[in-house]
Amino acid sequence: MTCPFSNPRNLFDDLAAARETPSIEYSDKLGGYVISRYDDIVSVLDNPGVFSSRPAVPDFPLQVKHIFANKVPEKGTLLAHDNPDHDRLRKSAASFFVPRRLERFEPLLRATAHDLIDGFVENGCIDIKSNFALQLPLRTIVIVAGLDPSRWQWIGRCLSLFGGITQTNEELSVEQRVQDVLELHEYVAKVIEERRTDRRDDLISHIWNERDAGVVDMKDYEHLSMIPGLLLAGHETTTNLLSMGISHLIHYDLWDAATENEESRKAAIEELLRYESAITGMERLVKEESKIGDLVVRPGERLFVALNSGSRDSTKFDTPDKLDFKRQHKHQHLGFGRGIHACLGAPFARLLLRTELAVLKERLPNLRLKTPYEEIQYCRVHSVRGPEAVEIEWDVPSPDEMRVNVGQGNVNSPVRAAAKTEEIEMVVGDVTKVANKIIRLTLCPKDGEKVPKWSPGSHIDVQAGTIGHRQYSICSKPSDDGFIQIAVLKESDTGASNWIHQNAVKGSEISVHGTRNHFSLELGSRKTIFIAGGIGITPIIPMAEAAKEAGVNYSILYLGRSRGNLAFVNDLREAHQDRFMLWVSQDQGGARFDIKAFLAQENLEDLRVYCCGPEALLTGIEEVLADAPPGVLRLERFAANSTGNTKPNTSFEVILARSNKTLRVPEDKSVLEVINEAGAGVMSTCSTGVCGTCEVRVLDGLVDHRDVVLTHSEKAGGKSMMPCVSRCLGKKLTLDLW
């Protein structure tokens, strides 16, 4: 009888035995108590304050520690950080990995896949791991991160040294490995510094944008620490997932079913992640005495949290040892982990795997295993799960069949250029002071170009020098088609608003990103009330003008502390006359306007309220209209609702619009739990609002956003939510689900 976890081909038998053993046993092979049952695993992952992830990233060997000091970050990946540092650093990259945003990289992935297959399609057989599954993610993640695509092989070699720098049984000497790791970090640091002023559509630039926007407080050294770890995780996991997945699909005669269409590929990937993830498990260090099942663990003891075991727990998954693409995922599989340390790059991995399956199906007919399934050799049992090689073969296509139109040409330049966010160059036609610390900019298209199309409620992203982009609502009239206007409040003597006040002069050029609208106006028969606080008047101006032109019943309420700080008062009074109401607290003895009394006289069934202003105003109106019918209130926030995650949970209803199901979400359950119990089948990974995997479309209702991946404007727009953590501010939410 072999020792448990010594034979990688017996891994799942050993994990099943561990689950069936009443006690939790210590494994010398895995270096800790093996946590194998689903509920026990979740209890550990959901309590990062008690169970530290620091052991998941080994310390540098003593021989090189002094060499790497102040040059190579010791905590070179998020897994090495506990809170509060973990959540702080993860916020810098979380919004980059929202699934719908990553779709822009699909052409790059597809073009690179075709390029690789072109190199071996005539051979008829190949080791899919080393020749495709490894190269594709590495070549593309280098570009996505913002590094030179021509250096992908050198970067891959450097990344492969992590965790094995001082080994002596390889081709490279210890000295060469140390030098490679040092040079990699020196190179990444150089690119980070270049992106300080030369922003592009890549991860390094995104982190700079988040730093400049005040989303995250991060040092340059921490910025450096994020990139190599994400590069390593970004290609290693998908390499093994695809290699193992192909072997399973072909062996069980599921290849055609899995690759039939986009939906079948999505379902197959989720089931493969459950069936055999590339992460066997993760180490955890006990920080406080705690109890897991019947086991009492004490500070300093180590755990091995066997993710691959939890995903085959028969108490949570029916027929867990069988691949079933029609499985209803009432419980979240653990293929990408769970909790705050769930895989940050999971959405990118899913996109990559879907693309790989699609292109392989398209290019390699009659795909089959060359290495017998039972003879595939796996790497030793440790935290990472993967085969040493998987040889496949196929029928070599005819020359005509090989002429595939990739549609991208050189994958290193055109695809990359296509992914860049479009910038629009505009000229400042006029600068006018409209209130204390507020200027209005008139922006005209450069070289006779057309003004970007926009609608009332839209904003543009203005480039404030090296500080980054900031959002400003358009405040000109919809009929003004030769220019657009914005108003900028100088908030401090530093930052973007100060830069604009100092540098925006008549004739100067400013770069903007095209218009977007998360505060759209819907005119109809309802009475419409526009409420603005301070600089929040800017999006209201064109909205009120549109309401006037449409002949609807509307009014404007403009609130502020002092008259000198309120812009456009005379213009609004002249344009809207008795429909315009001004309340200046300073003129009212410091009294605040009574919103509750003001709205109490209105018929809520026949009302629509648009409000933009400071958080105190918006929160107050939300509370007043908490019981209003869906669709009455629409808000535009200056920043994310900072109080959202401190509110107590309340019960509310969720309507699944496509099936017309009405579900009750109790205080102690998430929206995600409730909708998946009802069969919605929404994918998830982290369950903590940090990965973006579970994003769903919101059709009606006010969302209490508690995630860290949606931008401020996306939260204000209220068009989507992360149901794993976010809730409802009112009584009802309507989601675009079956």
Calpha distance 353→131 (Å, rounded): 15
Over its C-alpha atoms, the chain yields an Rg (Å, rounded) of 28
The pLDDT confidence band at residue 605, using thresholds 50, 70 and 90, is: confident
- Are the beta carbons of 164 and 59 closer than 8 angstroms? no
pLDDT score, position 415:
35
Q: 37-46, 197-206, 415-424, 425-434 — which is least confidently predicted?
A: 415-424
Dig out the tokens for 712 from the structure: 């401020």
Q: 332-368 pLDDT, tens per residue?
A: 999 999 999 999 899 999 999 999 999 999 999 999 9
User: Could you tell me the strand order of the sheet in which 125-127 lies?
Assistant: 125-127, 391-393, 368-369
Contacts of 215 by beta carbon, 8 Å cutoff, 6+ apart: 91, 92, 95
Selected from 2.40.30.10, 3.40.1160.10, 1.10.3720.10, 3.20.20.70, the CATH number assigned to the domain covering 422-516 reads 2.40.30.10
pLDDT score, position 422:
56
Calpha distance 78→293 (Å, rounded): 28
Calpha distance 511→39 (Å, rounded): 52
pLDDT higher than 80, residue 583: yes
pLDDT score, position 450:
77
Give the best-scoring range by mean pLDDT among 224-238, 346-360, 470-484, 504-518.
346-360
Comparing 56 with 389, the larger pLDDT belongs to 389
Q: Which residues are 94's β-sheet partners?
A: none
Calpha distance 405→407 (Å, rounded): 5
The pLDDT confidence band at residue 125, using thresholds 50, 70 and 90, is: very high
pLDDT score, position 238:
92
Average pLDDT over residues 2-17: 93
Q: 160-164, 553-557, 633-637 — which is least confidently predicted?
A: 160-164
Average pLDDT over residues 650-658: 92
Contacts of 277 by beta carbon, 8 Å cutoff, 6+ apart: 241, 307, 308, 311, 333, 334, 335, 336, 385
Q: 35-49, 205-219, 353-367, 397-411 — which is least confidently predicted?
A: 397-411
Q: What are phi and psi of 193, to 5 degrees?
A: -65, -40
pLDDT score, position 634:
85
pLDDT higher than 50, residue 168: no
Give the best-scoring range by mean pLDDT among 216-225, 349-358, 404-413, 656-665.
349-358
Averaged pLDDT of the chain: 87
Q: Which of 698, 677, 678, 694 is nearest to 686 (CA)?
A: 694
Residue 531 neighbours by CB distance under 10 Å: 27
Residue 79 neighbours by CB distance under 10 Å: 21
Q: Where in the chain is the domain with CATH 3.40.50.80?
A: 521-613
Comparing 409 with 424, the larger pLDDT belongs to 424
Calpha distance 387→372 (Å, rounded): 13
Q: What does the DSSP assignment read for 283-342?
A: EEEE-S-EEETTEEE-TT-EEEE-HHHHTT-TTTSSSTTS--TT---SS---TT--GGGS
The pLDDT confidence band at residue 586, using thresholds 50, 70 and 90, is: very high
The pLDDT confidence band at residue 169, using thresholds 50, 70 and 90, is: very low
Q: Where in the chain is the domain with CATH 1.10.630.10?
A: 8-401
Give the best-scoring range by mean pLDDT among 422-431, 500-509, 635-644.
500-509
pLDDT score, position 362:
93
pLDDT higher than 80, residue 138: yes
Q: Which CATH superfamily is domain 8-401 in?
A: Cytochrome P450 (1.10.630.10)
Calpha distance 612→634 (Å, rounded): 9
pLDDT > 90 fraction of the chain, expressed in percent and rounded:
60
Class of CATH domain 521-613: alpha beta
pLDDT higher than 50, residue 165: no
pLDDT higher than 60, residue 170: no
pLDDT score, position 409:
37
pLDDT higher than 50, residue 722: yes
Selected from 3.10.20.30, 3.30.428.10, 3.40.630.10, 3.40.1180.10, the CATH number assigned to the domain covering 639-738 reads 3.10.20.30
pLDDT score, position 65:
72
Q: 413-428 pLDDT, tens per residue?
A: 333 333 334 578 899 9
- Are the beta carbons of 716 and 690 closer than 8 angstroms? no
The pLDDT confidence band at residue 172, using thresholds 50, 70 and 90, is: low
pLDDT score, position 401:
61
Contacts of 92 by beta carbon, 8 Å cutoff, 6+ apart: 207, 210, 211, 215, 216, 218, 223, 226
The pLDDT confidence band at residue 171, using thresholds 50, 70 and 90, is: low
Q: Where in the chain is the domain with CATH 3.10.20.30?
A: 639-738
The pLDDT confidence band at residue 402, using thresholds 50, 70 and 90, is: low
Indicate whether this model's pTM tops 0.75.
Answer: no
pLDDT score, position 654:
95
